[in-house]
């Protein structure tokens, strides 16, 4: 058998030594990319469909008491995937990556089917949807945790950048494709937003079960229960604090100073500290801390985190910008803005799809360092250009800047992901890939909290005065105008984000009926709210983009420090493995429970 493999020109070998046929690696790429597309698409498809979903279950998401349901419909999916990815990646190393991946497809598909049959209304209906969104997130975590490791096992080192580039960029693009898909399907029937995943999930489940092959060598180990529990608890507490930090507290525009948020942050930090202590003491830890001794992995993962922080909230800011200001000013009704916001953001997706696979292919030949660093510098430039645009921008210029943003992000994401996966020992690819993905997903949730907070603080400085003055100028009584102006700015952002006319919603039908036809028409028209919010929104926008620019520049610096082109298992590393055995830290070629100290070449690759 070995002689046939060596002489067959259609067969190559992965780093782990398993024979990989050309046909199989393309099967693996297509199936895994389908799974990642589904997992990321459902992270955003509900954003645009939210108004139709809440109308379908007869619940007003803008009522202050209902903001909990709104936030957890948005963030619950991301929180669950962030918490579980590392654990499921480690399970893939222990019990088989393909097996864990297949389980993810089954869970994801069943949860999608359950979401379509919600028969309840009001808060009960919302809780049902949130619960099965969480289950759907569990399935997505299985898919995301093992997809990169499956591809790394299937492709030889000189083609991984291209393969992981396609997979990663399709995944990132799925977030933006979901916006358009949600805008098309939700007005027809909100259940279609979830139902569309069912036939695709069924097809992917059967295809994965029949065609994917286990190319890794699973190594059974004890489950690190305390590590899993403290890690999950710490992340959950911190991410829950983000959702409460966005909401107002007392007389403050945000809740970051509330006792609840401070307690959640403190408890979350304490749990993560306990996690770090546990991981240093257990024999078979969940979180492979010794992997951070690998320079390419450490700085690649740090770059992943910072890039996700810079872009995670971008989608929300662009949606609010388009739906709340630009589209109404250009003749679109508020009810139509969710769909068109997704369409007008397509240049960003096209830029990613163009640059991702191309830069991934080139990084296979020339290394990831300069592509990833240049991508982050380009992203910082694109955020600077977005900040220079007027709120009522000319679309061709906006589209060009969005395309530059997409190209820059694609130029970074593919080479960086390939470099991270190439740096990992074969037996740690599931855990290491899961760790990298966890930093990315956690950063997205954190970024949403930061961007929303900066926007809310920017609005809080000048919006109340502008709101009160504008309402009174159109006949609204002073007491009513000041009451509306005193509402939390986050309510204004949520209304714009969901495609509601905020003024019509906040003023109410009774007050509007008491106004003259001219004033009523002016207040509920397409121009009053965009004109009112433009200046306060611009202030918050500049602060958010300034934060993103700083995050991109630090990510570029971290990427530059990763060193040159490096693949684990390269000849320069073999003598180190021999030395490591003398210290009792040796590992088998396939897997190990301890990652040996890095070589000098590994620490200073290139």
- Biggest CA-to-CA distance, the chain: 89
Residue 586 has pLDDT above 50, yes or no: no
What does the alpha-carbon distance between residue 487 and residue 234 come to, in Å, rounded to a whole number?
Answer: 32
Token output for 292? 């951070």
Q: Would you call 224 helix, strand, or coil by DSSP?
A: coil
Spatial separation of the C-alpha atoms in residues 242 and 447, rounded to whole Å: 10
Chain-centroid distance of CA 346 in Å reads 17
* 282 or 5, which is more confident: 282
Under the banding of pLDDT at 50, 70 and 90, the label for residue 585 is very low
pLDDT at 384 (0 to 100): 95
What average pLDDT score do residues 345-351 get? 89
As a whole number of angstroms, the distance between CA 82 and CA 413 comes to: 18
Which residue is it, tokens 């489940």?
205
If one compares 217 and 571, the residue with the highest pLDDT of the two is 217
Mean pLDDT of 54-61: 87
Q: 483: which 2 tokens? A: 């009451």
What is residue 206's three-state secondary structure?
helix
User: 588 pLDDT exceeds 50?
Assistant: no
The helix or strand, by DSSP H or E, that contains position 424, with its residue range, turns out to be none
Evaluate if residue 461 carries a pLDDT over 90: no
Confidence class for position 435, pLDDT limits 50, 70, 90: confident
pLDDT at 598: 53
Contact 369, 295 (CB under 8 A): no
Taking residues 33-42, report their average pLDDT.
86
Greatest mean pLDDT among 80-89, 236-245, 298-307, 520-529 lies in 298-307
Q: Which of 593, 567, 605, 304 is nearest to 431 (CA)?
A: 593
Structure tokens, 446: 């954190």
Whether 176 shows a pLDDT value over 90: the answer reads: no
What average pLDDT does range 188-212 have in this prediction? 92
- Least Cα distance to 492 among 25, 175, 15, 67 occurs for 67
Cross-strand pairs, 11: 21
> DSSP letter at 249?
B
Q: What are the pLDDT digits (tens) for 269-311? A: 999 999 889 988 888 887 777 888 888 899 999 999 999 998 8
Spatial distance between the Cα atoms of 298 and 17, rounded to a whole number of angstroms: 25
Q: Is the pLDDT of residue 601 over 70?
A: no
Residue 281 CB neighbour total at 10 angstroms: 9
Mean pLDDT confidence for 423-452: 84
In 3D, which of 302, 238, 243, 223 has the Cα closest to residue 270? 238
- Predicted confidence at residue 599, as pLDDT, reads 52
Q: Are 49 and 185 in contact (CB under 8 A)?
A: yes
**How far apart, in whole angstroms, are the C-alpha atoms of residue 212 and residue 25?**
9
Helix and strand numbers (H, E) in the chain are: 26, 2
Does residue 13 sit in helix, strand or coil? strand
Q: Region 176-205: what's the mean pLDDT?
A: 89
pTM metric for this prediction = 0.79
**Can you read off the two tokens belonging to residue 467?**
């709101």
344, two tokens: 């007008």
The strand pairing partners of 20, in sequence order, are 12
The confidence band for 342, taking pLDDT boundaries of 50, 70 and 90, is confident
Per-residue pLDDT tens digits for 476-502: 989 988 888 887 787 777 777 777 777
pLDDT at 439 over 80: yes
Considering the domain delimited by 19-216, tell me its CATH architecture: Up-down Bundle (1.20)
Instruction: Count the Cβ atoms, other than its own, within 10 Å of residue 188.
Output: 10
Kindly indicate the confidence band of residue 569, based on its pLDDT and cuts at 50, 70 and 90.
Answer: low
> How confident is residue 111, by pLDDT bands cut at 50, 70 and 90?
very high
**Other CB atoms within 10 A of residue 8 CB:** 12
If you ran DSSP here, which 8-state letter would residue 292 be given?
Answer: G
The three-point CA angle 193-198-202 to 5° equals 160
User: What letter does residue 596 receive in the DSSP assignment?
Assistant: P
Q: Where are the domains of the chain?
A: 19-216, 227-281, 571-603
> Which of 361, 433, 445 lies closest to 165, judged by CA?
361
The values of phi and psi at residue 565, to 5°, are -65, 130
Confidence class of residue 375 from pLDDT cuts 50, 70 and 90? very high
Is the separation of the CB atoms in 133 and 18 below 8 Å?
no
Q: Does residue 175 or residue 225 have the better pLDDT?
A: 225
**Length of the chain as a residue count:** 606
pLDDT score of 166 = 82
What are 170's two structure tokens?
Answer: 């399709």
- Is 407 within 8 Å of 276 (Cβ atoms)? no
Q: Which residues pair with 343 in a beta bridge?
A: none
**Which pLDDT band holds residue 264 (cuts at 50, 70, 90)?**
very high
Q: How many Å is the Cα radius of gyration of the chain?
A: 25
The whole-chain average pLDDT of the chain stands at: 82
* pLDDT tier, 568 (very low <50, low <70, confident <90, very high otherwise): low
- Which tokens in the block code for residue 19? 């024979």
d(CA 184, CA 339): 6
Which of 403-421 are b and which e, b meaning 16 or more Cβ less than 10 Å from the residue's Cβ? bbbbbbbbbbbbbbbbbbb
| 598, two tokens | 């890095």
Q: Which of 174, 113, 119, 121 is nearest to 139 (CA)?
A: 113
Residue 603's contacts (CB-CB under 8 Å, 6 or more residues apart) are 293, 295, 563
Q: Is 252 helix (H, G, I), strand (E, B) or coil?
A: strand
């Amino acid at each position: 058998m070995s002689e046939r493999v060596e002489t067959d020109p259609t067969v190559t070998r992965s780093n782990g030594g398993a024979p990989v046929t050309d046909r199989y690696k393309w099967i693996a790429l297509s199936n895994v990319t389908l799974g990642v597309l589904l997992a990321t698409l459902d992270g955003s498809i509900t954003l645009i469909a939210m108004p139709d979903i809440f109308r379908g279950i007869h619940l007003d998401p803008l009522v202050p008491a209902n903001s909990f349901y709104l936030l957890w419909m948005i963030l619950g999916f991301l929180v669950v995937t962030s918490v579980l990815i590392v654990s499921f990646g480690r399970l893939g190393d222990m019990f088989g990556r393909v097996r864990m991946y297949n389980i993810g497809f089954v869970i994801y598909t069943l949860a999608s089917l359950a979401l379509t049959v919600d028969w309840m209304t009001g808060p009960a209906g919302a809780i049902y949807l949130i619960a099965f969104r969480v289950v759907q997130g569990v399935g997505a975590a299985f898919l995301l945790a093992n997809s990169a490791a499956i591809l790394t096992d299937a492709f030889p080192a000189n083609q991984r950048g291209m393969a992981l580039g396609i997979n990663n960029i399709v995944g990132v693009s799925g977030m933006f494709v979901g916006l358009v898909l949600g805008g098309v399907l939700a007005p027809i029937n909100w259940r279609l937003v979830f139902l569309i995943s069912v036939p695709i999930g069924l097809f992917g489940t059967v295809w994965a079960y029949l065609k994917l092959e286990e190319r890794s060598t699973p190594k059974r180990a004890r489950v690190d229960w305390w590590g899993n529990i403290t890690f999950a608890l710490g992340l959950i507490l911190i991410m829950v604090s983000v959702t409460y930090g966005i909401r107002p507290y007392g007389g403050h525009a945000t809740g970051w100073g509330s006792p609840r948020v401070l307690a959640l942050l403190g408890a979350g930090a304490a749990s993560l500290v306990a996690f770090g202590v546990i991981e240093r003491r257990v024999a078979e830890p969940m979180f492979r801390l010794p992997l951070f001794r690998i320079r390419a992995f450490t700085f690649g993962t740090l770059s992943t985190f910072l890039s996700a922080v810079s872009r995670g909230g971008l989608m929300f800011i662009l949606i609010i910008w388009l739906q709340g200001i630009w589209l109404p000013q250009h003749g679109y009704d508020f009810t139509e803005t969710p769909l068109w916001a997704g369409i007008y953001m397509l240049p960003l997706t096209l830029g990613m799809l163009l640059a991702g696979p191309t830069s991934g292919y080139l990084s296979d030949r020339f290394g990831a360092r300069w592509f990833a660093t240049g991508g982050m510098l380009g992203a910082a430039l694109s955020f600077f250009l977005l900040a220079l645009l007027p709120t009522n921008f000319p679309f061709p210029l906006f589209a060009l800047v969005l395309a530059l943003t997409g190209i820059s992000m694609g130029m970074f994401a593919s080479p960086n992901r390939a470099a991270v996966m190439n740096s990992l020992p074969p037996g740690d690819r599931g855990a290491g890939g899961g760790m990298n993905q966890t930093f990315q997903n956690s950063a997205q949730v954190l970024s949403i909290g930061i961007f929303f907070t900066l926007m809310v603080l920017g609005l809080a400085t000048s919006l109340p005065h502008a709101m009160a003055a504008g309402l009174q100028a159109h006949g609204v009584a002073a007491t009513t105008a000041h009451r509306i102006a005193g509402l939390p700015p986050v309510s204004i952002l949520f209304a714009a984000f969901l495609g509601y006319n905020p003024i019509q919603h906040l003023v109410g039908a009774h007050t509007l009926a008491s106004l003259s036809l001219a004033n009523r028409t002016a207040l509920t028209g397409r121009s009053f709210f965009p004109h009112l919010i433009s200046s306060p929104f611009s202030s918050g926008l500049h602060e958010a983009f300034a934060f993103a620019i700083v995050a991109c520049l630090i990510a570029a610096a971290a990427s530059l420090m990763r060193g040159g082109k490096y693949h684990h298992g390269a000849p320069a590393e073999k003598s180190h493995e021999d030395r490591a055995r003398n210290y009792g830290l040796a590992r088998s070629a396939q897997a190990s429970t301890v990652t040996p100290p890095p070589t000098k070449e590994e620490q200073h690759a290139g």
